[in-house]
Amino acid sequence: MTITIRPETQQDHQAVESILLSAFPTDAESKVVNAIRENGNAVISLVAVLDEKVIGHILFSPVTTHPPTPEKGLGLAPVAVDPVHQSQGVGSKLIRAGLQICIALQYDYAVVLGSPNYYMRFGFQKANSFGLQNEYGVDAEFMVIKFKSLPGSGLVKFSDEFSLFSV
């Protein structure tokens, strides 16, 4: 099984939408992804392709810190794999490729909200241990990975599109 990871193009939007709709319980993630693209906030958007079919997608968009800090950060969300192809390493490939591009683009750090058991294998650590808070009232599930430097402390907010829909 050869999986290729490549940047998303406009031709992939429909396939990505159907993956998001089948991987998540509601259409909130699909709406968020559309809004992020429309607002030009899709900094990194990659697809996983198997036999010319799109089977996975990952998006990174800018985060902000409150109070503001000079470090540049991205939020990893969402990542989704077609349920038929889950637990075969596709999500891991998308995440590793995405993190490499974050580094190439000179970002300082990235955050994610999700299962520590899953994301810690990619180098994410509990953000609260570094004084970084989130808006969702979670603790261990809010994680950060440092590429160059972290904001000293503060609230890290995902891009506004996430608060438009209840993800």
111 binds ligand COA (CB under 6 A): no
- Alpha carbons 95 and 57: distance in angstroms, whole number: 9
Please report how close the Cβ of residue 91 comes to ligand COA at its closest, in angstroms: 2
122 binds ligand COA (CB under 6 A): no
The DSSP secondary structure of 41-83, one letter per residue, reads --SEEEEEEETTEEEEEEEEEEEEEES--S--EEEEEEEEE-G
Give the x-and-dash track for 57-96 against ligand COA (CB under 6 A).
--------------------xxxxx----xxxxxxx----
Please report how close the Cβ of residue 81 comes to ligand COA at its closest, in angstroms: 4
Q: Where are the beta strands (DSSP E) in 87-153?
A: 109-113, 125-126, 132-133, 142-146
C-beta of 131 vs 160, nearer to ligand COA: 160
Q: Which of 166, 145, 165, 140 is nearest to 63 (CA)?
A: 145
Residue reference for tokens 């503001």: 68
The vertex-21 CA angle with 110 and 114, nearest 5°, equals 30
Selected range binding ligand COA among 3-11, 67-75, 112-120, 149-157, rule: CB under 6 A: 112-120
C-beta of 25 vs 40, nearer to ligand COA: 25
Chain positions contacting ligand COA, by CB under 6 A? 23-24, 77-81, 86-92, 114-115, 117-118
